[in-house]
Copies of this chain bind each other. A is one copy, B any other.
Amino acid sequence: MTLTAHSIIAGTEAARPSVEAATAAAAGAFDVYRDTTPQQRGAFLDAVADEIEAGRGAIVEAAVSESGLPEARISGEAGRTTGQLRLFADVVRRGDHLGVRLDPALPERKPLPRPDLRQRMVPLGPVAVFGASNFPLAFSTAGGDTASALAAGCPVVVKGHPAHPRTGELVALAVTRAVAAHGLPAGVFSFVLAPDAQSAIELGQELVADPRIKAVGFTGSRAGGLAIVAAAAARPEPIPVYAEMSSINPVIMLPGALADGDLGALATAYVGSLTLGSGQFCTNPGLLFLPDGADGDAFLTAVGDAVTASSGQRMLTEAIARAYESGAAALREAEGVRVLARGTEGGDLAPAPQVVVAGSPAGRVTDEVFGASGVVVRYADVDALVPHLGRLEGQLTATVHSSPRDSDAARRLLPVLEGKSGRILFNGWPTGVEVSHAMVHGGPYPATSDARTTSVGTRAIERFQRPVCYQNLPADLLPDAVRDDNPWGLTRRVDGDLRLP
């Protein structure tokens, strides 16, 4: 792979990346940027979306070329990326993320008067964002982490992903144009791109270690995420890391779903979700629990047919394709595993999809194989299923297929699944993550490094904030968000009661 793209440091193209220059500019820009009003910051986020739309043709072309993903998919991802920025613009203008709380003074209270107390959320400071290989737009340079950090009032330094350098540069230039057009300090956004994969790791470590960086957003492998978590914890001042790392997204077929459903359609839908985008999704359904019995047997036969008929699709990079091949082979050779079916290779970097059947969900069977590889585990009844689920690691999603006759079983599974995952879905497939207010794309370790939050959806803005309380501030010094006359028209909590504006 030849990198032909540049770093964009505080508005200026640079042939060589400089973490020092980018973080110094970000720190320098922080005080101005954090003080932008909701209207100003919202307009800026909309402008980032506008600039990406203006450059959309070249951006989509670069992303298709660099990722190998189909144009329809990349085009959809571009829409998701700009939609996400506009959604955060709306969130910022509404201002609920400021979480304002007012406890008015009680000067006559006995035995002690209560002071005037006002709380708001403030941004943490410059944020480092590590984009994902599998979403060159929506989880990358101006993706969800960047959008939510900018929305919170944090300058952003993106570590460009070596799998799509030119896409990253073009998006970075779009963001940079919006920064300039809105008269913001150039340090609000920088993009540092390493010249090769080895130096990319070093660059990432340098970025996380930089004292001016105050939080990190990451989407990628478990090894990569854990290295960043360790680097952040080893700093003189440790910082929060939001790493979205790995998940095998268990799917549970309950007996009623098979008895009452169309087995062929269910099997086709499963294999469709498993092989979508060559299986390169965080929410790929890597593990499926199937009841013993004739319906399960028939479903499995249909799955085998669908897999056999499937063909490999080009994966994102050679390294990812090779990792899939070796992971898929290790799975096939693992103890207690038999191959149900394999598809055909689809040409260069397009290895064959596969589904295997395993005796129990343990050991290598539960290691994520990034790509279109699925494991089916049979179970006798819910009593046997619950301990299986209890032993799984934390997951992004858990899926249940049920019919009304499965209600008791589903009710019993729900608390177990809540403890294991960030999103529970019924009668669907986990691929496809809505960007909205109620979405959770997160989950217990090791799905993410911090289950208290989400990396998709509007709650993501909360990751980059912390509360500050003002006690007895003179009125002329109060930040606008907590002033008595509420100039921003915010919803606020007064003595614990929510007051709409």
A residues near B, CB below 8 A?
A: 31, 34-35, 76, 90-91, 94, 96, 101-103, 111-112, 114-115, 117-119, 122, 124-125, 229, 233, 237-238, 240, 394, 402, 404, 407, 410-411, 414-415, 418-419, 421-428, 432, 434, 436-440, 442, 444-446, 449-454, 458-459, 465-474, 476-477, 491, 493, 495-496, 498, 500
Judging by beta carbons under 8 Å apart, are A117 and B407 in contact?
A: no
Query: Contact: A467 with B459, CB < 8 Å?
Result: yes
Residues in B neighbouring A34, C-beta threshold 8 A: 415
Given A424-B468, A467-B440, A496-B437, is A402 in contact with B474 using a C-beta cutoff of 8 Å?
A: yes
Q: Which residues does chain B contribute within 8 Å of A125, judged by CB atoms?
A: 419
Return chain B residues, CB-CB under 8 Å to A76.
111
The docked-state distance in angstroms from the alpha carbon of A35 to that of B422 is 18
CB distance from A245 to the nearest CB of B (A): 12
Residues of B within 8 A of A440 (CB): 119, 467-469
Contact assessment for B467 and A434 in the assembled complex, using a CB-CB cutoff below 8 Å: no
Q: Give complex CA distance A119, B441 in Å.
A: 11
8 closest cross-chain pairs (CB), A and B: A425-B471, A440-B469, A117-B438, A101-B438, A119-B438, A103-B438, A423-B469, A103-B436
Which residues of B sit under 8 angstroms from A439, Cβ to Cβ? 103, 117, 119, 469
Taking a contact as CB atoms under 8 Å apart, the answer to whether B500 and A91 are in contact is: no
**Are B115 and A445 interface neighbours, CB within 8 A?**
no
Contact assessment for A114 and B436 in the assembled complex, using a CB-CB cutoff below 8 Å: yes
Nearest CB of B to A449, in Å: 7
Q: Please give, as numbers and ranges, the residues of chain B lying within 8 Å of A237 by CB-CB distance.
A: 394, 444-446
A-B contact pairs, 16 of them (CB 8 A): A90-B496, A91-B496, A96-B498, A101-B437, A102-B438, A103-B437, A117-B434, A237-B394, A407-B476, A424-B469, A424-B471, A424-B473, A425-B473, A426-B474, A427-B472, A428-B471
- Closest beta carbon of chain B to A239's beta carbon, Å: 8
Find the B residue at minimum CB distance from A496.
B437
The complex places the Cα of A453 from the Cα of B119 at a distance, in Å, of: 12
- Complex partner residue of A238 from B91, B445, B454, B498, CB under 8 angstroms: B445
Min Cβ gap A159→B in Å is 23
Q: Kindly identify which residue among B419, B438, B470 contacts A469, using a CB–CB cutoff of 8 Å.
A: B438
Cβ 8 A contact of A466, one of B35, B452, B458, B474: B452
